[in-house]
Amino acid sequence: MLEMWHSFTALPMWVKLWMMLILGPINMATLAYLDQPMGITIAALAWGGMLISVGILIRDRGFSKLVSGGHVLTWPPLVLLLIFARPDGSDSYGLFLTALLLVDAVSLIFDTNDLRLWFLNRRSS
């Protein structure tokens, strides 16, 4: 557990803030909308990416570029759903889905690059 903490504290400050104040909370908040149209599907995709990433984090005993793999597996379908098959719902749900879309799309830009770098590093070793 201490290794994971040291790994977290070694991340750049902006990454820690992004993860703790924006990325984690908005994806966790999908649970508040389970009763909304497609709420269960949206939460499953959001949480799926986080849970896979946490599994990798635990297995590797720290943050590596591979942690992004969980997001890259389940968040592209989530982003596509939010762009092309966005469900109707309350105004607050619509605003939430817009924020979730923007945050996860930005995250996927970084995650895709991190996973690419992980594969390149693995290939060269």
Q: For 42-85, how does the pLDDT look when each residue is reduced to its tens digit (9 = 90+)?
A: 999 999 999 999 999 999 999 999 999 999 999 999 999 999 99
Which residues are CB-contacts of 31 (< 8 A; sequence separation ≥ 6)? Answer: 43, 47
Q: Which carries the bigger pLDDT value, residue 125 or residue 50? A: 50
Q: Note down the domain range covering 62.
A: 2-124
Quick one: pLDDT at residue 1?
79
Residue 125 pLDDT more than 80? Answer: no
Which pLDDT value is given to residue 89? 87
Q: Give this prediction's pTM.
A: 0.92
Q: Where are the beta strands (DSSP E) in the chain?
A: none
Question: Rounded to 5 degrees, what angle do the CA atoms 30, 31, 36 make?
Answer: 75
Query: For the chain, what is the domain count?
Result: 1
Q: What is the mean pLDDT of the chain?
A: 95
